[in-house]
């Protein structure tokens, strides 16, 4: 098996070890995770060191083990608490074993040691492998904490049943390391449905120069496109973000190429399509339809009072339509456009879908306050090309949602269309 074929290649997992007898299984767990290709960083409660040494875990993980909230030896140059940098790199936060005490602290959001602090700070999914006394596991308090964690999206592995003298099987023992690693692999597979896809997303306005200091622009903030890029990267895609003149930080794991004008954006997008390795292009950018034919090289001076001036505009290239035209009968890359409309949203979206020869149009009614340009939220209607020639486009209207949630919902809908492009049918159906 090559390194990249290992089930956990390039994954970073923080393993939290709490203080109980099952901590003696932690070295085997870490060894299996490393063997599966993961980068493993171990964090222990102080008392866990009575059951397993940090040196053992450092040896099997290949990284220093963190135990104290203020461990200066671990401090990164840019951080007073060096290990607080760890969770931002993590794909999963795994707590194994998780005692009843730790389950309670995680559920309540307490941060009274390094492990619980990092669990709070970490944006990665949480997987806990409880180990508890059978009576404690049945206790409503423990069950409430576990349910609360589940309700927040945490995953629970085990506990396994322990055979009693009475013959009853009572849950309590931590799952075997191999079972935990299998669940880790399944979880990470599920959380990266876009792994292996290369996507280009455009975001933001275009600025069309009138002179060196003035331009024709629009109210796009880039938030919708940046949210799509961040979510696609989080789901494992390789993302190129063509970013217009906006004041937004580059999402983690995304390659950013800045543009200013419609012509620059066209150059970036068409060159990327030409390279032939893109699986999808999403045009969220609000592209100018017209540009000044002859921008002045010097600042245009004020005219005499009342004297008018005019600027001649020429149409810009319709990039999305050009992409559709160049793709011809090919199905790859998937072409997704956005449509900003103030009236007849659905009718105009359907028209754009056909005219620009793309696969999906995401229509937004930009006249609704609190939605569309510059807003934190968006209300979109997804209009997909009919699966049968001559059929009607499939239409789905989503409620008003934060743009981050719109992005998640859109990738949920677009992923099947992307994976269809990689199916054998897509490869031969040309």
Indicate whether 221 belongs to the interface with ligand PMT (CB under 6 A). Answer: yes
Task: Label residue 24 left, alpha or beta by phi (over 0 means left) and psi (-120 to 50 means alpha).
Answer: alpha
* Euclidean distance between the first and the last CA atom of the chain, given in angstroms as a whole number: 33
Name which position in 352, 357, 381, 418 contacts ligand PMT (CB under 6 A). Answer: 352
Tell me how far, at minimum, the Cβ of 358 lies from ligand PMT, in Å: 8
| Segment lying near ligand PMT (by CB under 6 A), choices 43-51, 95-103, 142-150, 317-325 | 317-325
Report whether 140 contacts 106 (CB < 8 A).
Answer: no
Name which position in 29, 43, 52, 262 contacts ligand PMT (CB under 6 A). Answer: 262
Omega prior to 11 cis, within 30 of 0: no
Number of C-beta neighbours around residue 234 at 10 A: 21
The number of residues that bind ligand PMT (CB under 6 A) is: 27
Report the C-alpha gap between 281 and 332 in whole angstroms.
9
Instruction: For ligand PMT, give the closer residue by CB, 90 or 339.
Output: 339
Indicate whether 357 belongs to the interface with ligand PMT (CB under 6 A). Answer: no
Q: Residues with Cβ < 8 Å from 312, sequence gap 6 or more?
A: 292, 293, 294
Instruction: For ligand PMT, give the closer residue by CB, 61 or 381.
Output: 381
| Segment lying near ligand PMT (by CB under 6 A), choices 30-38, 68-76, 312-320, 421-429 | 312-320
Indicate whether 8 belongs to the interface with ligand PMT (CB under 6 A). Answer: no
Tell me how far, at minimum, the Cβ of 214 lies from ligand PMT, in Å: 20
Report whether 204 contacts 221 (CB < 8 A).
Answer: yes
Tell me how far, at minimum, the Cβ of 399 lies from ligand PMT, in Å: 16
User: Where is 239: in which H helix or E strand?
Assistant: strand 238-243
Report the C-alpha gap between 257 and 225 in whole angstroms.
13
Instruction: For ligand PMT, give the closer residue by CB, 27 or 372.
Output: 372
Report the C-alpha gap between 221 and 203 in whole angstroms.
8
Indicate whether 287 belongs to the interface with ligand PMT (CB under 6 A). Answer: yes
| Segment lying near ligand PMT (by CB under 6 A), choices 19-27, 52-60, 283-291, 295-303 | 283-291
Name which position in 18, 117, 220, 273 contacts ligand PMT (CB under 6 A). Answer: 220
Number of C-beta neighbours around residue 296 at 10 A: 15
Report whether 355 contacts 349 (CB < 8 A).
Answer: no
Report the C-alpha gap between 158 and 142 in whole angstroms.
14
Indicate whether 338 belongs to the interface with ligand PMT (CB under 6 A). Answer: yes
Catalytic residue positions, numbered: 218
| Segment lying near ligand PMT (by CB under 6 A), choices 48-56, 164-172, 282-290, 306-314 | 282-290
Contacting positions for ligand PMT (CB under 6 A): 204, 220-224, 262, 283-287, 289, 316, 318-320, 337-340, 352, 364, 366, 372-374
């Amino acid at each position: 098996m090559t390194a990249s074929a290992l089930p956990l290649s390039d994954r970073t997992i923080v393993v939290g070890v709490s203080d109980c007898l099952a901590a003696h299984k932690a070295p085997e767990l870490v060894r299996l995770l490393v063997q599966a290709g993961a980068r493993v960083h171990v964090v222990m409660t102080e008392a866990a060191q009575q059951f397993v040494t940090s040196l053992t875990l450092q040896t099997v993980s290949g990284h220093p083990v963190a135990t104290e909230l203020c461990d200066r030896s671990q401090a990164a140059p840019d951080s007073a608490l060096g290990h607080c940098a760890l969770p931002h790199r993590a794909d999963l936060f795994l707590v194994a074993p998780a005692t009843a005490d730790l389950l309670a602290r995680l559920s309540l959001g307490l941060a009274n040691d390094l492990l619980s602090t990092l669990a709070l700070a970490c944006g990665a999914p949480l997987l806990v492998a409880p180990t508890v006394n059978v009576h404690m596991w049945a206790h409503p308090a423990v069950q409430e904490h576990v349910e609360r964690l589940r309700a927040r999206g945490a995953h629970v592995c085990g506990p396994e049943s322990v055979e009693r003298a009475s013959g009853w099987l009572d849950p309590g023992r931590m799952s075997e390391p191999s079972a935990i690693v299998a669940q880790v692999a399944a979880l990470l597979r599920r959380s990266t449905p876009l792994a292996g896809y290369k996507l280009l997303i455009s975001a933001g306005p275009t600025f069309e120069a009138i002179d060196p200091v003035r331009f024709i622009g629009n109210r796009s903030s880039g938030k919708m496109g940046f949210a799509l890029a961040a979510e696609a990267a989080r789901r494992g895609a390789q993302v190129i973000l063509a970013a217009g003149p906006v004041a937004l930080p580059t999402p983690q794991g995304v390659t950013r190429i800045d543009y200013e004008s419609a012509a620059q954006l066209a150059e970036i997008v068409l060159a990327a399509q030409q390279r032939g390795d893109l699986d999808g292009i999403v045009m969220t950018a609000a592209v100018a339809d017209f540009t000044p034919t002859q921008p002045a090289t010097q600042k245009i001076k004020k005219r005499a009072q009342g004297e008018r001036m005019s600027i001649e505009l020429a149409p810009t290239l319709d990039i999305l339509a050009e992409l559709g035209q160049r793709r011809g009968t090919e199905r790859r890359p998937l072409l997704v456009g956005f449509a900003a409309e103030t009236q007849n949203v659905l009718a105009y979206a359907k028209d754009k879908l056909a005219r620009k020869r793309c696969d999906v149009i995401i229509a937004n009614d930009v006249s609704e306050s609190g939605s569309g340009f510059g807003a934190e939220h968006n209300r979109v209607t997804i209009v997909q090309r009919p699966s049968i020639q001559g059929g009607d486009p499939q239409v789905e209207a989503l409620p008003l949602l934060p743009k981050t949630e719109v992005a998640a919902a859109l990738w949920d809908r677009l992923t099947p269309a992307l994976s269809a492009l990689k199916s054998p049918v897509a490869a031969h159906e040309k």
